[in-house]
Amino acid sequence: MDPVDEFAWLKAEIKRLQDRAEALREGFLRPGARLRSNRFEITVKRQTRRVFAKDRLPEAVLADPRYWDERESEVVTCRALDRSGEEDIVLIE
């Protein structure tokens, strides 16, 4: 398989699996959900975490460049080639 085709296939498969895992997770959160099989048991617990509320900072702090860093990263995207002359459709980012 061409590495480009394999990458696109893998990204699509990962998305499909993540979507399925999220659907299962939502089911486990419903009251009365079955949480045990012959091999595994699901545990659902609630936990609390602290979250930084950046939107509550004064505008002077938010606008001050001393408090900001720039970071750079590579982004690999994959899109299906449109053979009909229309615009390409982005499948994966």
Give residue limits of the domains in the chain: 3-92
Q: Would you state the torsion angle of the CA atoms of residues 54, 60, 65, 71, taken in this order, to the nearest 10 degrees?
A: 10
Residues 54-69: tens digit of each pLDDT:
999 999 999 999 999 9
Band (pLDDT 50/70/90 cuts) for residue 88 is low
Distance CA 44, CA 28 (A): 8
Q: What is the pTM (predicted TM-score) of this model?
A: 0.69
Distance CA 49, CA 74 (A): 30
Pair of tokens at residue 65? 């460049």
Mean pLDDT for the stretch of residues 40-60? 95
Mean pLDDT for the stretch of residues 66-73? 95
Name the 3-class secondary structure at 79.
strand
pLDDT of amino acid 23: 98
- E strand map for 1-93: 78-80, 89-92
